[in-house]
Amino acid sequence: MAVSHGFHAIAISGVAILTTEKMVRDNHGANLGYLFIILMTTTSFKRPAAILGRRGWRILHTVGMYYLWLSFTVAFSERLNQSWIIYFPFISALVLVLILRFVPRKKRYL
């Protein structure tokens, strides 16, 4: 995820530099999403995770993933008027994943 979004960020930045588009500077929601991706990627390594601590790591990754989930859900929902066929399956998958997240898991005993 971090690698693909890293390439995506580089491409968006390149377009912003080569054109007069203000999409990078003015899109605070997306920039916050990229900040979460950077922080979560950095703290996925042993040393930074140890510095952050178990509780801090859990809070960062939980808040970060819910923020990214919400960002994608909102972005795809805003595009529904362009094409239901393309965006409805993505929105359905995002909602299904959220529902499954809260379904209680059965404990397995060995």
| pLDDT tens digits, one per residue of 46-82 | 999 999 999 999 999 999 999 999 998 998 899 988 9
Tokens of 82: 């362009």
Task: For residue 63, give the H/E element and its range.
Answer: helix 54-78
| pLDDT tens digits, one per residue of 80-110 | 889 989 999 999 999 999 999 888 877 777 6
Which amino acid is it at 19? T
User: How far is C-alpha 71 from the geometric centre of its chain's CA atoms?
Assistant: 7
- Can you tell me the distance from the alpha carbon of 32 to that of 53, in angstroms, rounded to the nearest whole number? 22
- Can you tell me the distance from the alpha carbon of 15 to that of 17, in angstroms, rounded to the nearest whole number? 5
- Can you tell me the distance from the alpha carbon of 89 to that of 65, in angstroms, rounded to the nearest whole number? 20
Sign of the alpha-carbon dihedral angle for 12, 17, 20, 22? positive
Q: Does the global pTM surpass 0.95? A: no
Provide DSSP, 74-106.
HHHHHTTTT-HHHHHHHHHHHHHHHHHHTSPPP
Which amino acid is it at 3? V
